[in-house]
Amino acid sequence: MVAFSVIPIIELSRVCPGMVTAMGVSMGLTGAAVMSKGTIEQKERWGLDLLTMDKIGAWAITEPDSGSDAFGSMMATARRDGDEYILNGSKTFITNGPYADVIVFICKLDEGNPPAERTVLQFVLDSGMEGLEQPKPFRKMGIHSSPTGMLYLNDVRVGVDRLLGGSEEAFKGSGGRDASKATFSMERTGVSAMALGIVDRCLELSLEYAREREQFGQPIGQFQLIQLKLAKMEVARMNLQNLVFRHIEMAVEGEAIDFAEASAAKLYSAQTATEVALEAVQLFGGNGYMAEYEVEQLARDAKVLQIYAGTDEIQISQIARSLLAP
């Protein structure tokens, strides 16, 4: 079952990592957040439509002044007002944000206490709610098939039926942060499957080109420097495949991947996909820099893997923190 869901990610990432990002955020993050943390009513109301892609989802934590320090600098708030909550805040770089039907909005409960002590809550919103604005997408370097944009919430009034889990209790203490971290782990393991797709396609294209393109009277694949690139791409492909197989096996066994391992896998996968895609551009020479060649798109698309779902630098500090923990 798990393998069936990973294989389309790998296959689609070979041609369109942007589409995988958009679908992954909708089903894998937003849908999974509702299905894992929601009440039965919430799963029925939003979860099923997200999983079947009848509705598009967005998962919103990042803010203009709160990226890597997602919890520490978070400004978005929920204030209690009778039996309801009033939500305010701005989110940025939100995948599917401009067109999402359903949004998981992450914010802090403002009880007049210092921001560092506030409980992190998640609310489920529907497009079109009063006070919710979904502006048009940003223009960006790659993954053009994945719309990315801001969200503005201005006094959006919600009932407790929209509080994920149906009660604040589950989120008290570090509960809200832990719930979001579980989503980060899922997102990070997904990056390995995407990286495998990108690397696999880059290798396939590079092999074809190395056989066909001739210089100095012979195919460029005869030059040892080109052979080195191909051999390194194959090693990268094998390593990524092994990582993905491990994630599948763990999922089949019902074992959850821990946060540090998910971070390590994400760091390696993102760097590897970017390096391989850039080497593919190099192997194609001038053609590789031209938009009509697929490797140009793959190189632009691969780069985002080092930024979203936590930057390389953040993965490194999370791996090290876990290694150094007593």
Ligand X SMILES: Cc1cc2nc3c(=O)[nH]c(=O)nc-3n(C[C@H](O)[C@H](O)[C@H](O)COP(=O)(O)OP(=O)(O)OC[C@H]3O[C@@H](n4cnc5c(N)ncnc54)[C@H](O)[C@@H]3O)c2cc1C
Which active-site residues does the annotation give? 187
DSSP E strands, the chain: 57-60, 77-81, 84-95, 102-109, 120-126, 132-133, 148-159, 214-215, 218-219
Binding span for ligand X by CB under 6 A among 121-129, 177-185, 243-251, 313-321: 313-321
From the list 16, 247, 26, the residue with the least C-alpha distance to 143 is: 16
Element (H, E) at 51: helix 48-51
Q: Is 107 in the site for ligand X (CB under 6 A)?
A: no
Which of 94/164 has CB closer to ligand X? 94
The Cα 209–Cα 213 span in angstroms is: 6
Query: Which residue in the set 46, 71, 85, 93 belongs to the binding site for ligand X (CB under 6 A)?
Result: 93
Burial 245-260, CB ≥16 within 10 A → b, else e: eebbeebeeeeebebb
Query: Nearest distance from residue 18's CB to ligand X, in Å?
Result: 9
Give the CA distances from residue 213 to residues 85, 127, 221, 225, 320, in Å, rounded to whole numbers and listed in that order. Answer: 63, 51, 8, 15, 44
Query: Nearest distance from residue 204's CB to ligand X, in Å?
Result: 25
Which of 62/119 has CB closer to ligand X? 62
Which of 71/284 has CB closer to ligand X? 71
Which of 276/304 has CB closer to ligand X? 304
Q: Is 317 in the site for ligand X (CB under 6 A)?
A: yes
Which of 248/302 has CB closer to ligand X? 302
Sign of CA dihedral 288, 294, 300, 302: negative
Query: Nearest distance from residue 256's CB to ligand X, in Å?
Result: 22
Binding span for ligand X by CB under 6 A among 9-17, 41-49, 77-85, 89-97: 89-97
Q: Is 311 in the site for ligand X (CB under 6 A)?
A: yes
- DSSP state, 253? T
- Interface with ligand X in residues 10-29 (CB under 6 A): 25
* Residues in CB range of 172: below 8 A, 6 or more apart: 119
Query: Which residue in the set 74, 314, 315, 318 belongs to the binding site for ligand X (CB under 6 A)?
Result: 314
Q: Is 148 in the site for ligand X (CB under 6 A)?
A: yes
The Cα 284–Cα 271 span in angstroms is: 20
- Site pattern 28..67 for ligand X (x: CB under 6 A): -------------------------------xxxx----x
Size of the residue set binding ligand X (CB under 6 A): 20
Q: Is 191 in the site for ligand X (CB under 6 A)?
A: no
Beta bridge partners of 85: 80, 158
Q: Is 302 in the site for ligand X (CB under 6 A)?
A: no
Binding span for ligand X by CB under 6 A among 114-122, 203-211, 237-245, 306-314: 306-314
From the list 239, 313, 248, the residue with the least C-alpha distance to 276 is: 239
Q: Assess contact for 312 and 195: CB atoms under 8 A.
A: no
From the list 139, 153, 150, the residue with the least C-alpha distance to 93 is: 150
* Residues in CB range of 217: below 8 A, 6 or more apart: none
List of residues contacting ligand X (CB under 6 A): 25, 59-62, 67-68, 93-95, 143, 148, 304, 307-308, 310-311, 313-314, 317
